[in-house]
Structure 1
Amino acid sequence: MIPYGAGRPLLTPVDREGARRGSRLRRLGLGERADFSFDSFDAFADRVAEVTATPFSMVNFIDENRQFFAGLHTPAGIRTGADLGAAAAAGSSRSIRRLARDHGYCPHVLVRRKALVLEDVCDYPRFAGNPVVDGIGIRSYLGAPLIDRTGIALGTVCAVDTVPRPWGRAGLDTIKLLAGELVGHLDRREIFHG
């Protein structure tokens, strides 16, 4: 258990694959680097947001130390200091595309290796105290792991909203389909560009 805030525990899952995943991400050129090209991942995040009708969506790679938003979609016109996405979309430092490993719900998806649907994060004590609830205003989450052809979960694709959402089975199927599509793209990219 990792303490967070005034007496609120934040339970972040233990990630036993972090070092192996970090090595794989670096080999694939998918980690945080100065020459990283965000274009195709941002376009994919835009598509996820469109398909799920959400204000935020991400393609998130997670190494041993942090989360890295390779793809990021944010609502237009939001420019608050706590809005991680708006700061990144506004063209500020690439470091804005980082998030601590104990923030958000993607680390849970990664370790579980299963999609996660949270229609209202406040309905789940384990997730309600997460820093993204107060810091970004996240109230609902839909995410699936990106498990590549070697069996390593590289990261996640997710959609989030600032209001509760009745995702249901359709939402779960949609995010899993989108994750599978992106994994196929990553596998082809590695095969053809080695």
Structure 2
Amino acid sequence: MARQRELGLASVPDTVFDEVARTAAESTGATAAMVNLVGERGQYFVGLYGKEPSSGEPAFLGDPGRFMDMDQGFCVHVVGRKAALTLDDVFEFSRFRGNPVVDELGVRSYIGVPLIDDDGTVIGTVCAIDPAPRSESEGNSWGNQGLQVLKEARDRVLAEIGGRQKIGGVLAAADGPVMITASPGLEVLYANAWHEQLFGGVEQLGAPAPEVFPHLAPVGILAIIEHLERGGEPMVTPPIPLNGPATATIAFAAVPVRVPGQEAAVLTFGLTDTDAVTCLARAKEIAADVEDQTDAP
């Protein structure tokens, strides 16, 4: 989980990873596929795709949504062994057939590959599941072709993660505290070290900003974010006194920003001993720098 935080991976639905899951499911003929971040207390499907079965086709018994407990499913085994896992028929493996997803969700076959970052940490998986068994005799075994499809999906995910790290570099170099939240849920996507020094650390990206940073509301930051999300113009808070010299103040601006995987997002930036015009202009510059990294090949 700490490594996911360093990589800027947030536990929120992500349209880029949803598309990776869709391609993986369609290319393997699977009913569902996921890009799964495996943490310490649970699993989160940042990428998720599932198709509606046709009449008469096997179907899952339930829908877990985007979150699973650590004892559910087979991805934790992929993470633990740092190797792919192929189960054409879960019932053939005593170690796996008793997993809760078999009886509760009706998962009967599974294939998954680990997401191993450039630091050697296994941060999750790309996987596909079916409510029906597969077999070589039926000609629908996951086989080498299924593994190759998921490895290609894994490579897309890792390349995307590498590209997004450039955004973290832009925020780390900013001359004030910066936070980016998804709209409309205010989930924290990014927060630089300066921001965490002022408001506290982020254990897991993707948590709602009001919960992670309870002091945002008293200083007016939540108000200017919500104003922008309601269709208003970018705003700046009044100057806020800082601990230290009596004259030291900081103002925060909120501006829209485009980041990968999200339909809409807001960037907040704080600048010390400044006026509203300067603070807002600098926030827009940082947002533009973030978008330049997003657009870079």
Q: Sort the TM-score into its range (normalised by shorter chain).
A: 0.7 to 0.9
Mapped to 1, the partners of 2:61 and 2:110 lie a distance apart of 18
Mapped to 2, the partners of 1:149 and 1:140 lie a distance apart of 30
User: How far 1:191 moved relative to its partner?
Assistant: 3.6
**Percent of aligned pairs with the same residue?**
40
Q: What secondary structure, in the 3-state scheme, does the structure 2 residue paired with 1:83 have?
A: coil
Letter in 1 for 2:133: P
Mapped to 2, the partners of 1:192 and 1:68 lie a distance apart of 22
1:50-129, aligned counterparts within 5 Å? 50-76=26-52, 82-84=61-63, 96-129=65-98
Residue number among 15, 26, 33 corresponding to 2:5 in the alignment: 26
Q: What secondary structure, in the 3-state scheme, does the structure 2 residue paired with 1:189 have?
A: helix
User: How far 1:37 moved relative to its partner?
Assistant: 4.7
Larger Rg: 2
Letter in 2 for 1:174: V
Post-superposition Cα deviations, 1:50-97, rounded to whole Å, max 9, x if no partner, equal 11111110000011110001011112379x995225xxxxxxxxxx31
Q: Structure 1 or 2: larger helix share?
A: 1
Q: What secondary structure, in the 3-state scheme, does the structure 2 residue paired with 1:70 have?
A: strand
The runs of at least 4 aligned residues of structure 1 exceeding 4 Å deviation read none
Give unpaired runs (5+ residues) of structure 1. 1-21, 86-95
Residue number among 147, 160, 175 corresponding to 2:150 in the alignment: 175
| Alignment RMSD | 2.1
Mapped to 2, the partners of 1:73 and 1:49 lie a distance apart of 7
Q: Which stretch shifts more, 39-48 or 61-70?
A: 39-48
Q: What secondary structure, in the 3-state scheme, does the structure 2 residue paired with 1:31 have?
A: coil
Give unpaired runs (5+ residues) of structure 2. 135-140, 170-297
Question: TM-score, normalization: structure 1?
Answer: 0.75
Distance 1:31 1:181, change over 3 A: same
Q: Which residue of structure 1 aligns with residue 258 of structure 2?
A: none
Q: What secondary structure, in the 3-state scheme, does the structure 1 residue paired with 2:73 have?
A: coil
Contact 2:107 2:130 in 1 (8 A): yes
